[in-house]
Chains A and B, each alone.
Chain A
Amino acid sequence: MVLEKEIFKEFENVVGVGNIDDGEVITDAYAYNWCMEFFNYMDGKEPLPYSPRPKAVILPSSTEEVQKIVKLCNNYGIQVKAQSTGLGPWNCVSTDNSIVVDLRRMNKIVKIDEKNLYCVVEPYVSGAQLQVEIMKYGLNCHMPGAGPQVSPLASATSMNGPGFTSPSTGHSSRNVLGVEWVLPDGEIMRLGSWGMKNNPDWFVGDGPGPSLRGIMRGWAGAKSGIGIFTRVAVKLFPYPCSTDFELSGHSPDYDFKIPDFMRLYVMDCKNFKRLDEIMLQVEKEEISFMCSYLSGLAVMAIFANNFEQMMELMAVGSMKAPLVVIIAARTKREFEYKQKVMDYLLEKNKLENIIGTKYTPYPVFFAEALRSNLGLHGFIATGGFQSTLGQCDTAKVCLNTAASNVPVKKIFIKKESVANDFGEGIWMTSYESGHYFHVESPTMFDQSNKHSVEGTAQYFERSNEMGLVKHLGAPFFAEGDRMHDMFGPHMHNYHLWLRKIKEAFDPNNIADGGFYITAGKGKKGVSKGE
């Protein structure tokens, strides 16, 4: 379905010629996304990586243009789906009566405020772009695990938020300050101090009174289901070491001058019980820039940039419960102290750091760690991966979740639907110096293999259900009506409240709620209280 000529013209008048297209070629490319095939399979459709084709794709350049677009969509009963860098099926429309608002042209770093330790960005500023500009002030930003090429705004307002540097940079959701938000009815809402009529400013995202950030998102964002975010202020953090970033050589074998006060530790904690204890010990010392549990194969992956190189690291991969810690410091004394702490913990727990003894990574690893580029290594083995699980609370529940997932994954490994990581493919990171942790299970599949795609989708379903059955918490992708109706009745009927929020803020169902929730009647369950 395409837009009627007159309606197309109205949209074109908003954004200018060349910034809207409803041709089948432009729009078909926006129907495609990584892992869309799983959601199709789960919905009983053919497992192709395509959603319905949007009616059009439109490229606004300002909040005012976004507002006009949303208002037009309200007038004509067309749904709207916003995206920026657009990685993942959550960027796809759920019906063909939806237009994609591609925020590519909104790419300004509006403000870097060194004194107040935050910045304001538009949707199409990438993490890497932001980082290099704030490094000039000795600052760093949080980047999601998806990589530095994606949008910090999208991560903060609409997506998820774990990152490799989370021990020191937290979670995207908790780094949000002022927000500019085009609501589904076309009103512009400015959260916190940004909403003041006199001297609005970005430094607070809450109030007056209750915080509407609570409506904006939770552990996960609304994936465009509650409006479009056009600017956000996010907290900044001290850059962990010297900001000199010297690369030489050529891709992919760059050489990198490792900053003076940066050191990597990879230690085998041998089992989950010890890992739980040791990870907490490290984190309670508040010294890490990065602190992750990665399964053996995942450790191999982060040190390689191709599969053959990965296979050369079997000795590294044979570790049972590897803990990867990076410490970094601005000054020599800080560095010496942090090393002392690590030495003490290594001795106390009878651990060996294999780095520098059994294995030394290529220096480019450190560049990638600083640039938060490690998550993309998950694609090395088969070219396709997606994570299941996503529980977030204590280290213990994360490890219990990981352990519980092993037999589930092994079923699908045996069926040759997912690649064999012995069921143990895991990434778990600490947040805010170990105050909480999250776990996910990167799962490798082959997009070009139908059996793999179908089997992986089945595995995802089983893995998601496990959170319900074993009380491990809701997984990452508890989103969309089907999942909410499944989990809600077991979780105080949260889905009914979420639906009410949707109904209140989007009575006309204009914001595409395919990966959020839609207005309507859900199943009520009786939650077991105590």
Chain B
Amino acid sequence: MSINSIIENLIKICSVKHVSNDASVLKTYSSDMSYVEAKAPICVIWPSNAKKVEKIVKLANDLNFSIIPISSGAGPRLHGDTIPQKDNCVVVDLSKMKKIIKIDKKNRIMMIEPGVTFSEIIPTLEKKDLKMNIPLHPRGSKSVLASALEREPVTIPKYMWDSSDPLLCTEVIFGTGDLFRTGTAGGPGTIKQQEKAGIAQVNPMGPTQFSPYRIIQGAQGSMGVVTWATIKLEMKPTIQKVYHIQSDKLQELLDFQHDLMKYRLCDELLILNNLNLACLLKQTTQEINDLAKELKKWNLIYVLGGRGKLANDKLEYLVGDINDILEEQGLDPSKDKQIINDTDVLRILTQPDTNSWRMRLKGGHQDIFFLSNFERIPEFVSIMENQNSYDLGVYLQALNLGTSHHCEFNIYYDPNNVEESKHVKENFLKVCTELMDAGAFFNRPYGPWAKEAYERHSASTQSALKKVKKIFDPNNVLNPGVLCFDD
């Protein structure tokens, strides 16, 4: 089938206004900050509802082209999962599906379409005294739904009851073109009928004896195209108190963090190195470097929150219990000079970022992230520090009720500096594979990590994933080239 024919058929679905094969448009969808070698898509299409998405996917099966679903519109795109790796590919940009379908305060959920961004949702939720467990200072233009689908690490580990949180139910178009709803959204009944019965699509498990939402999540769009999802929310605290502990010894902070986590004593909880904390709080390179110099190397931040009439009582008991732990561990944060202020910290923890904080230092960054257990974090930090002669940002995030830790290393470089860029590129995969060989678990294997990660993983997992792919996307129309589905 010719490209023109494909485009004609797509126009029949979405109208000419929402399909483009303009060269300049195609160019923006053909590259990102990763090292994945991309190709240009045939065209980009902007469907406005699930029915159209269904038709597009069915068409892809019929006419033998592939689809890359994306949700965050213009980007910047970082990891290679949203740019075409194959010929004959159509980018399905869901960013115009922007409905906030419902916000249910009573049941602490919202139902949103893929195009809803952090900038849009956060203030909307705040007005209703609600909050979402969000990633660290997320880019404002980033799709909330996509973030949840990617299992991006969130900053309140005590609210992360499962690795899949805060994603709940989904409406998805599988690679076959079939529409499906996961969790209790699966029915019986339409969403309206369910709501009449009292269901709010809060239970992500099922339907019955499987949980397809787990297959869709982390799949980089290769199992299905999600057209809406329910996302878990929390009540917004009325009082928040920020605590910042600095140390030159990472282990000291990790040990303290462990107890905070074990006893569920705080809300936001994370560790940053001085450079990353400075990048988050400041805007210019100079400001960042100045602050980084002032801060000690390691910075643990935690936030206590209380709500309503007894908010202060809650904080009082939490502070008391935490002080007991501080004393047991011989930590005395009051000795350190107060360098950063609470307002700024709360801003980065609760608000979207107007520009990408990782780009502020030098304009370019390559991120290496994986999951680790508690004990091995210092070892991985060591590997990165030994390898890396660059400006290195470190972000450590406890996840999933403290059972695992997101370890993120940001290699900052000037993309306009040819030598520097070349050096980063040449060593990027090398250091990633060294980490993998040391046991770092790259559970979100983007771009070139995929091949390496799967090679270092048991064959039975790959075999099983391929079986699953064959079920939900037998013709491999969805994002071919990602994960382990290409051979």
A and B touch in the complex (CB under 8 A): yes
- On chain A, the residues within 8 Å of B27 by CB distance are none
Task: Report A-chain residues with C-beta under 8 Å of the C-beta of B205.
Answer: 171, 173-174, 218-219, 392
Q: Are B202 and A394 in contact, CB atoms less than 8 angstroms apart?
A: yes
Chain A contacts with B in 57-114, Cβ cutoff 8 A:
113
A189 to B461, Cβ gap below 8 A?
A: yes
The residue on A at minimum CB distance from B437 is A198
Q: Which of B179, B191, B264, B310 has the most CB of A within 10 A?
A: B310
Please determine whether A209 and B164 come into contact, CB atoms closer than 8 angstroms.
no
Stretch at the interface among A249-257, A354-362, A487-495: A487-495
| B184 beta carbon closer than 8 Å to chain A | yes
Indicate whether A341 reaches chain B with its CB closer than 8 angstroms: yes
User: Which of B83-91, B357-365, B417-425, B463-471 sits within the interface?
Assistant: B463-471
Q: Is A517 located at the chain interface by the 8 A CB criterion? A: yes
Stretch of B12-20, B135-143, B439-447 that contacts chain A: B439-447
A313 at the B interface (CB under 8 A): no
Contact bitstring A419-430, B, C-beta under 8 A = 1, else 0:
000000000000
Cα–Cα, bound, A432→B205 (Å)? 14
Are A504 and B403 also in contact (CB < 8 A) when A115-B375, A400-B198, A471-B197 are?
no
Q: How far is the CB of A478 from chain B (nearest CB, A)?
A: 5
Q: Is A215 an interface residue (CB 8 A)?
A: yes
Cβ contact within 8 Å between B202 and A393: yes
Point out the residues of chain A lying under 8 angstroms from B445, CB to CB. 207-209
Q: Which residues of A contact B464 (CB under 8 A)?
A: 183, 189, 212, 215, 505
Which of A14-22, A328-336, A364-372, A374-382 contacts its partner? A328-336
Contact B461 A211 (CB under 8 A): no
Residue-wise interface mask of A (386-416) relative to B, using a CB-CB cutoff of 8 A (1 in contact, 0 not): 0000001110111110000000000000000
Q: A491–B207 contact, CB under 8 A? A: yes
Instruction: Give A330 to B454 CA distance when docked, in angstroms.
Output: 44
Asked if A521 is at the interface of the complex by the 8 Å CB criterion, the answer is no
A238, B262: Cβ atoms closer than 8 Å: yes
What is the CA–CA distance of A458 and B251 in the complex, to the nearest angstrom?
61
B317 and A210 contact, CB distance less than 8 A: no
B356 at the binding interface (Cβ < 8 Å): no
Interface centre among B180, B403, B439 (most CB of A within 10 A): B403
Q: Is the CB of B184 within 8 A of A392?
A: yes
Say yes or no: A333 contacts B320, CB within 8 Å. yes
Asked if A511 is at the interface (CB within 8 A of a chain B CB), the reply is no
Q: Is the CB of A441 closer than 8 A to any CB of chain B?
A: no
A492 / chain B contacts, CB cutoff of 8 Å? 178-181, 186-187, 207
CA distance A478 to B400 in the complex (A): 29
The distance in angstroms between the C-alpha atoms of A529 and B214, with both chains bound, is 22
Residue numbers in B under 8 Å from A225 (CB-CB) = 209
Contacts A204-B443, A207-B218, A214-B210; A471 near B187 (Cβ below 8 A): yes
B216–A218 touching, CB < 8 Å: no
Q: Enumerate chain B residues within 8 angstroms of A501, measured Cβ to Cβ.
A: 210, 468, 471
Give the tally of cross-chain contacts (CB within 8 A): 323
Interface centre among A201, A392, A471, A516, by most chain B C-beta atoms within 10 angstroms, is A471
Q: Are B200 and A393 in contact (CB under 8 A)?
A: yes
Question: What distance in Å separates the Cβ of A296 from its nearest Cβ neighbour in chain B?
Answer: 22
> Is B402 within 8 A of A117, CB to CB?
yes
- With a cutoff of 8 Å between Cβ atoms, the chain A residues found around residue B443 in the complex are 192-193, 204, 206-209
Contacts of B470 in A (CB 8 A): 504
CB distance from A503 to the nearest CB of B (A): 9
- Chain A 487-522, CB within 8 Å of chain B: the 1/0 string? 100111110011011001100000000001100000
The reply to whether B209 and A221 form a contact with Cβ atoms under 8 Å apart is yes
> Looking across the interface, which residue of chain A has its beta carbon closest to that of B458?
A195
A288 to B33, CA, bound (A): 46
- How many residues belonging to A are interface residues under a CB distance threshold of 8 Å? 102
Expressed in whole angstroms, the Cα–Cα distance for A529 and B171 within the complex equals 11
User: Known: A209-B220, A501-B471. Contact between A218 and B439, CB under 8 A?
Assistant: no
Residues 172-208 of B, flagged 1 when their CB comes within 8 A of A and 0 if not, give 0000001111001011111111101111111101111
Residue pair B203, A436 in contact (C-beta under 8 Å): yes
* A187 CA to B439 CA, complexed, in Å: 23
B379 to chain A, nearest CB (A): 10
What's the Cα separation between A205 and B218 when bound, in Å? 13
Contacts of A399 in B (CB 8 A): 198
Residue from the list A211, A280, A484, A505 in contact with B163, Cβ < 8 A: A211
Q: Is the CB of B317 within 8 A of A333?
A: yes
Would B316 and A333 count as touching, CB distance under 8 A?
Answer: yes
User: B187 — which chain A residues lie within 8 A by C-beta?
Assistant: 471, 473, 490-492, 527
For B162, B219, B261, B483, the residue with the greatest tally of chain A CB atoms inside 10 Å of its CB is: B162
- Whether a CB of chain B sits under 8 angstroms from the CB of A482 is no
In the complex, B118 has a CB within 8 A of chain A: no
- With A210-B468, A473-B184: A498-B208 Cβ-Cβ less than 8 Å: yes
Determine the chain B residues whose CB is within 8 A of the CB of A472 once the complex forms.
197-199
Judging by beta carbons under 8 Å apart, are A208 and B454 in contact? yes
Closest to A333 in B: B317
- B161 CB-CB contact with A under 8 Å: yes
Minimum CB–CB distance from B220 to chain A (whole Å) comes to 7
8 Å CB contact of B198 from A217, A235, A397, A478? A397
Q: Which residues of chain A are near B400, meaning CB under 8 Å?
A: 177, 204, 235
Q: Which of B201-256 contact A (CB under 8 A)?
A: 201-203, 205-220, 223, 232, 235
| Bound CA span A220–B467, Å | 22
Q: State whether B184 touches A220 (Cβ < 8 A).
A: no
Determine whether B7 belongs to the interface, using a CB cutoff of 8 Å to chain A: no
Instruction: Decide yes or no whether B126 CB sits under 8 A from chain A.
Output: no
- Known: A208-B450, A471-B196. Is A529-B179 also a contact (CB below 8 A)? yes
Tell me, yes or no, whether A5 is within 8 Å of chain B by CB: no
CA distance A334 to B313 in the complex (A): 10
Kindly identify, within residues 151 to 181 of chain B, every residue whose CB is under 8 Å from any CB belonging to chain A: 151, 161-164, 178-181
Most buried by A among B205, B210, B213, B450: B210
A435 at interface, CB cutoff 8 A: yes
Interface flag for B484 (CB, 8 Å): yes
Q: Are B190 and A529 in contact (CB under 8 A)?
A: yes
Kindly state whether residue B436 has any CB partner on chain A within 8 Å.
yes
Q: Which residues of B contact A398 (CB under 8 A)?
A: 198
Q: A183-B460, A341-B310 are in contact. Are A211 and B206 (CB under 8 A)?
A: no
Nearest CB of chain A from residue B203's CB, rounded to whole Å: 5
Q: A394 to chain B: which residues have CB within 8 Å?
A: 106-107, 198-200, 202
The answer to whether the Cβ of A350 comes within 8 Å of any Cβ in the partner chain is no
Q: Which residues of A in the span 453-471 have a Cβ within 8 Å of any Cβ on B? A: 467-468, 470-471
Residues of A within 8 A of B190 (CB): 528-530
Residues of A within 8 A of B454 (CB): 208
- Distance in Å: Cβ of B244 to nearest Cβ of chain A: 23
Instruction: Give CA–CA (A197, B439) in the complex, Å.
Output: 8
Q: Flag if B465 contacts A212 (CB, 8 Å).
A: yes
- Knowing A116-B373, A212-B464 are in contact, say whether A206-B439 is a contact too (CB < 8 A): no
B475 at the interface (CB under 8 A from A): no
A303: Cβ under 8 A from any B Cβ: no
- A116-B374, A212-B461 known, 10 other contacts, Cβ within 8 Å: A118-B403, A173-B205, A193-B371, A207-B443, A208-B457, A215-B215, A222-B210, A238-B262, A484-B208, A529-B190
**Interface residues in chain A, defined as those with a beta carbon under 8 Å from any beta carbon in chain B:** 113, 115-118, 138-139, 170-171, 173-175, 177, 183, 187-193, 195-199, 201, 203-223, 225, 235, 237-238, 280, 284, 330-331, 333-334, 336-337, 340-341, 344, 392-394, 396-400, 432, 435-436, 467-468, 470-474, 478-479, 484, 487, 490-494, 497-498, 500-501, 504-505, 516-517, 527-530
Q: Which 3 A-B pairs have the closest CB atoms?
A: A199-B439, A214-B214, A471-B189
Would you mind naming 11 contact pairs between A and B with Cβ atoms under 8 Å apart?
Answer: A113-B373, A138-B262, A188-B460, A192-B443, A193-B404, A195-B458, A201-B439, A218-B206, A490-B188, A491-B186, A504-B467
